[in-house]
Amino acid sequence: MTSPHPQSAAPRQDAAWLDAHWMPYTGNREFKANPRLLTGAAGAYYTTADGRRIFDGLSGLWCSGLGHGRRDIVDAVARQAATLDYSPAFQFGHPLSFELANRIVARMPQGLTHVFFTGSGSESADTSLKMARAYWRAKGRASKTRLIGRVKGYHGVNFGGISVGGIAANRKLYGQGVEADHLPHTQPPAGSFCRGMPPADGVPGYAGAALADELLRVIELHDASTIAAVIVEPFSGSAGVVIPPAGYLQRLRRICTEHDILLIFDEVITGFGRCGDWTGAAAFGVTPDLLNFAKQVSNGVQPIGGVVARREIYDTYMAAGGPDYLLEFAHGYTYSAHPVACAAALATLDALEADDAIARVRALAPHFEAAVHGLRGARHVADVRNFGLAAGLTIDALPGEAARRPYDIAMAMYRKGFYVRYGGDTIQLAPPFISTQAEIDSLVSALGDTLQHTA
Ligand code: PXG
Ligand code: PLP
Q: Which of 291, 326, 354 is the last residue of a domain?
A: 354
- For residues 230 and 378, membership in a common domain is answered with no
- For residues 225 and 316, membership in a common domain is answered with yes
Give 158 Cα–ligand 1 centroid separation in angstroms: 11
Ligand 1, atom nearest to 121 Cα: 9
- For residues 372 and 307, membership in a common domain is answered with no
Amino acid residing at 382: A
Give domain status of residue 11, yes or no: no
Give 85 Cα–ligand 2 centroid separation in angstroms: 19
- For residue 192, CA distances in Å to 85, 153, 253 come to 51, 20, 26
- For residues 381 and 278, membership in a common domain is answered with no
Ligand 2, atom nearest to 123 Cα: 16
- For residues 170 and 269, membership in a common domain is answered with yes
162 touches ligand 1 (CB under 6 Å): no
As a three-state string, the secondary structure of 282-336 is HHHCCCCCEEEECHHHHCCCCCCEEEEEEHHHHHHHHHCCCCCCCCCCCCCCCCC
67 touches ligand 1 (CB under 6 Å): no
- pLDDT attached to residue 402: 85
Q: Is it the case that residue 7 has pLDDT exceeding 70?
A: no
Give 84 Cα–ligand 2 centroid separation in angstroms: 21
- For residues 145 and 192, membership in a common domain is answered with yes
- pLDDT attached to residue 3: 47
Phi/psi region, residue 29 (left: phi>0; alpha: psi -120 to 50; beta: rest), is: alpha
Percent of the chain with pLDDT over 70: 98
Give domain status of residue 3, yes or no: no
Q: Is it the case that residue 172 has pLDDT exceeding 80?
A: yes
* Sheet strands side by side (includes 421-423): 381-387, 390-395, 426-429, 421-423
Q: Which of 354, 374, 395 is the last residue of a domain?
A: 354
- For residues 194 and 173, membership in a common domain is answered with yes
334 touches ligand 2 (CB under 6 Å): yes
- For residues 174 and 305, membership in a common domain is answered with yes
- pLDDT attached to residue 8: 53
Give domain status of residue 122, yes or no: yes
Q: Which of 354, 380, 397 is the last residue of a domain?
A: 354
Give domain status of residue 25, yes or no: no
The Cβ of residue 131 has, within 10 Å, a number of other Cβ atoms equal to: 23
DSSP 150-176: ETT----SSHHHHHH---HHHHTTS--
Number of the ligand closest to the Cα of 332: 2
Give 23 Cα–ligand 2 centroid separation in angstroms: 21
Taking only the tens place, the pLDDT of each residue in 285-332 is 999 999 999 999 999 999 999 999 999 999 999 999 999 999 999 999
- For residue 400, CA distances in Å to 62, 167, 187, 248, 442 come to 29, 18, 22, 34, 32
Closest C-alpha among 10, 17, 14 to residue 47: 10
Taking only the tens place, the pLDDT of each residue in 95-132 is 999 999 999 999 999 999 999 999 999 999 999 999 99
- For residues 330 and 246, membership in a common domain is answered with yes
- For residues 286 and 403, membership in a common domain is answered with no
408 touches ligand 1 (CB under 6 Å): no
Q: What mean pLDDT do residues 5-27 have?
A: 87
- For residue 128, CA distances in Å to 115, 222, 223, 362 come to 11, 21, 21, 29
CATH number for the domain that contains residue 60: 3.90.1150.10
Q: What mean pLDDT do residues 135-140 have?
A: 98
Q: Is it the case that residue 202 has pLDDT exceeding 80?
A: yes
How many Å apart are CA 84 and CA 63, to the nearest integer? Answer: 25
Taking only the tens place, the pLDDT of each residue in 330-379 is 999 999 999 999 999 999 999 999 999 999 999 999 999 999 999 999 99
Give domain status of residue 106, yes or no: yes
CATH number for the domain that contains residue 239: 3.40.640.10
Domain with 428 in it? 36-66+356-452
Closest C-alpha among 298, 268, 296, 277 to residue 127: 268
- For residues 127 and 185, membership in a common domain is answered with yes
Give 334 Cα–ligand 2 centroid separation in angstroms: 7
Say if CB 296 and CB 63 are below 8 A apart: yes
Q: Give the count of domains, the chain.
A: 2
Q: CA dihedral defined by 362, 365, 367, 373, rounded to 10 degrees?
A: -160
Q: pTM score, two decimals?
A: 0.96
Say if CB 122 and CB 322 are below 8 A apart: no
pLDDT tier at 9 (50, 70, 90 boundaries)? confident
261 touches ligand 1 (CB under 6 Å): no
- For residues 346 and 362, membership in a common domain is answered with no
Give 152 Cα–ligand 1 centroid separation in angstroms: 13
Instruction: Kindly report the average pLDDT of the chain as a whole number.
Output: 97
